[in-house]
Structure 1
Amino acid sequence: MTDEANTAPSPEANTAPSRETGTAPSRRALIGWGGAGLALGAAAAGGAAAALGGGADDTETVADSGAAVPFYGAHQAGIATAVQDRLHFAAFDVTTDDRAELIALLKEWTKAAARMTQGHAVGGGAVSDLAEAPPDDTGEALGLKASRLTLTIGFGPTLFTDKKGKDRFGIADRRPEALIDLPAFPGDNLDAARSDGDLCVQACADDPQVAVHAIRNLARIGMGKVAIRWSQLGFGKTSSTTPDAQTPRNMMGFKDGTRNIAGTDTAALEKHVWVSGKAGPAWLAGGSYLVARRIRMHIETWDRTSLKEQEDVFGRDKGEGAPQGKQHERDEPNLKAMLPTAHVRLAHPDSNGGARILRRGYSFTDGTDGLGRLDAGLFFLAYQHDVRDGFVPVQRALARKDALNEYIQHVGSALFAVPPGVRDADDWWGRALFS
């Protein structure tokens, strides 16, 4: 999506050195660019670490240092936080029906997340005096910095009532009204194996090992209580919550995210991203709703499309990124100068009653599809205060009219309620929901 774009159909990629630092990537960072080889990973265990407290909505103060993002705060980190370069996202099915076991797991996950995000090993670490027992931490992160790791949890509709209508954990009556079953959109070709989930954890970091290690440790801790339903690796952030930074390009070569909500824009965050105590259940106040969509791009078809058609599809020029009829990327677009099917025009807030969402998507490449075609695209992540007046109406407009639909297809989908932040060491993910 381009800067006006509010929703999913526009992937973004970056295979260049870090946009914000201009430094060359490390050898380790390179493994995140192909999507392959990231099954290992590492958590931040070295000596990096800022204080655990201080609030989750950091700006760019630690972006270039590999330092730690504060874990405790009113909102979860990983939403308004300056977007990191790498992602490991995992959706989990809860395999126990025991409420006490689930609560115990969430408490243990919270403790582990607090340590890993600050650059510390889980529990007793990767090396202990008890050689006969498995270590508490898998150890890939020994000596690595925190790399701005953030871990963000969400609760899916099936945590409240499963597919058979069973209220396994006594929370069915606490399901938020906005935690809907997303409607079917024209053109969707959703794979059930890449959709939904009882829980999700979004791990973002500037080092792919750190992000993947975090998910690996949480999955290990949860063995017997949860199982990974599906996961997605991402590289090259496709959006920025720091608009002054260079605008990322998507895998179609177009700049994206110029007008994304800034992590420092308190008023916009309150209006469009955070759930208020009046508009949602009390347990979700300060939280948000996350839409995750896996969007496959028809790379080979796009690469054979003329430059003029590409620019008409987006409504922007490919070089500067200026709206059609304008000179500079950040010029206010003249929507009427674009084709009625242009992506920018259809996704712009002015075309959607002012609807805005905060996007944190990533590009992905997952090998080929068996026919020699690249399995690549956008893993779209968007936060909003209510999907019913955010993602859903905008995506409906795009699904019907967007010229970009010829070159993309939505193949995975999920929606999660994202609880507020963890306030202190006595708090834990989802405490208000289960209290």
Structure 2
Amino acid sequence: MAARMSRRGLLGLGAAGAAAVGAGVVAANTLFDEPPVAHAASTADPFPFYGEHQAGIVTPSQDRLHFVSFDVTTDKRAELAELLQEWTAAAARLTQGEQAGPFGAVGGAPEAAPDDTGEALGLPASGLTLTVGFGGSLFDDRFGLAGKRPPALADLPKFPGEQLIPEISGGDLCVQACAHDPQVAVHAIRNLARIGFGKVSVRWSQLGFGRTSSTSRAQATPRNLMGFKDGTANLKLEDTDLLREQLWAAREDGAAWMAGGSYLVTRKIRMTVETWDRTSLAEQEQIFGRNKGEGAPLHGKKEFDTLDFDAVGPDGKPAIAADAHVRLAHPSFHGNAHLLRRGYNFVDGSDGLGRLDAGLFFIAYQRDPRKQFVPVQLSLAKDDPLNEYIKHVSSGLFACPPGVRDAGDYWGRTLFE
């Protein structure tokens, strides 16, 4: 059998050193308070694949995204479980900078299709993480899984003002690929789709760039395409107690197989950036409730100043308006509901009318969307003045199972037991 070819090995130390532009990051304690795991020291290096939880959730957010939703085309339960095992084996290789299959792109028989598509040869791991989720539609009568559908995977309600496009919403399975190199992320998704041929088909996919949230305090808060810092109050991997309470599913939640997993909500939010760009700075800041430069609350000076919703401005009116985005979304108005966001900007060309097809691909993880995402989004959908400039066109909800513990485990094993 031909030896595996490591992409990182092909680069050599010189290229790996040149890519070491990222600062070191810290790792979260697991749900079971295990010692922190050493994470990637540079943007070229890999993150661990095995663990209690899937990588790509509390992992410090990478710069690029390729998200894909699949429809399962086989009706055989055994084939679905087999696919998840094949995907897991490939993901374990890919995330460590190796090729998707044991023979790689050039190591197999010339008359056979390669084990890897080859476009990532010579590239490092680039912090690639792959995270899988199961949509509600997977729990129909095809695979005998209906009785295992988690209560927290209840269909999202219809929110006021949304204009969802069915063809780019939902799906049986999803895979989130995040990396610091877009070619590495695309390569990973391409190879999983190749492996799944005949068992799954791509329903929709989304490329993203410029992460719009920080998932670690070692990261600066990024900006969305409206120019504002996004996710200042986001859950962080250092918030161990909050993660246990707000992020990770537990056995007592009604689906024992999801213990250690999390629930993923995606929303493609198109922005009418041309209209926004003609809006005065004062109005933009009033809509968000923060200033555009520093990201500070309108009553404060620094980004992380505590929000004071009772503070008044020089005119005697509330410094942060009652319908400001930061107020409507704040945990204190929603039973202390927090979200761990790791969304991305997108620009998908133009709409044919001279306007950019651009916006935010919103990604949020939580323990129970019924108690977290749904009440927050209902409040925003009804009262947020930002709705004049945005439109929700895609939606997804997926149950992301616990992590893969070792080479004998696989994504979703607890579901099929």
- Counterpart of 1:45 in structure 2 is 7
Deviation at 1:335, TM superposition (A): 2.0
Residues 200 and 148 of structure 1, relative CA distance in 2, 3 Å threshold: same
Structural mapping, 1:153-232, within 5 Å:
153-161=132-140, 167-232=141-206
**Amino acid of the structure 1 residue aligned with 2:406:** D
* CA shift in 2, pair 1:59/1:370, >3 Å: farther
Q: Which has the larger radius of gyration?
A: 2
Pick from 274, 277, 298 the counterpart of residue 324 of structure 1.
Answer: 298
Counterpart check, 1:112 vs 2:90: yes
- SS of the residue corresponding to residue 99 of structure 2 reads coil
1:271-315, CA deviations, whole angstroms, 9 ceiling, x for partnerless residues?
A: 110001111311100000000100000100000000000000000
Alignment of 1:135-146 (within 5 A): 135-146=114-125
* Closer, same or farther: CA 104–341 of 1 in aligned 2, 3 Å: same
Q: Deviations over 1:34-74 (max 9, x none)?
A: xxxxxxxxx9833289xxxx999778841524111100000
Structure 1 runs (4+) greater than 3 angstroms displaced:
54-61
The 5 Å alignment of 1:36-435 reads 45-47=7-9, 61-62=39-40, 64-123=42-101, 124-161=103-140, 167-336=141-310, 337-435=319-417
The one-letter amino acid of 2:262's match is: S
Deviations 1:81-125 (A, max 9, x none): 000000000000000001111111110000000000000112110
Paired residue total = 384
- Structure 1 stretches lacking a partner, 5+ long: 1-42, 162-166
Q: Aligned letter for 1:411? A: V
State, as a whole percentage, how many aligned pairs show the same letter.
64
Contact between 2:265 and 2:398, CA under 8 Å: does it hold in 1? yes
**Which has the higher mean CA deviation after the structures are superposed, 65-74 or 388-397?**
65-74
State the partner residue of 1:25: none
CA contact under 8 A between 1:295 and 1:408: conserved in structure 2? yes
Q: Give how far 1:141 is off.
A: 1.0
TM-score, with length taken from structure 2: 0.89
**Letter matched to residue 45 of structure 1:** R
Query: For residues 208-255 of structure 1, what are the alpha-carbon distances to aligned partners after superposition, in whole Å with 9 as ceiling and x for unaligned?
Result: 000000000000000010000000000000001112422101110111
Rounded Cα–Cα distance in structure 2 between residues aligned with 1:207 and 1:55: 24
What SS does the aligned partner of 2:203 have?
strand
Asked if the contact 1:153/1:201 (under 8 Å) is kept, the reply is yes
Secondary structure of 2:7's match?
A: coil
Letter in 1 for 2:7: A
- Residue 128 of structure 1 and its aligned partner are, at CA, apart by 2.2
TM-score by structure 1 length?
0.86
Any stretches of 5+ residues in structure 2 without a counterpart?
13-26, 31-35, 311-318
SS in 2 for 1:388: coil
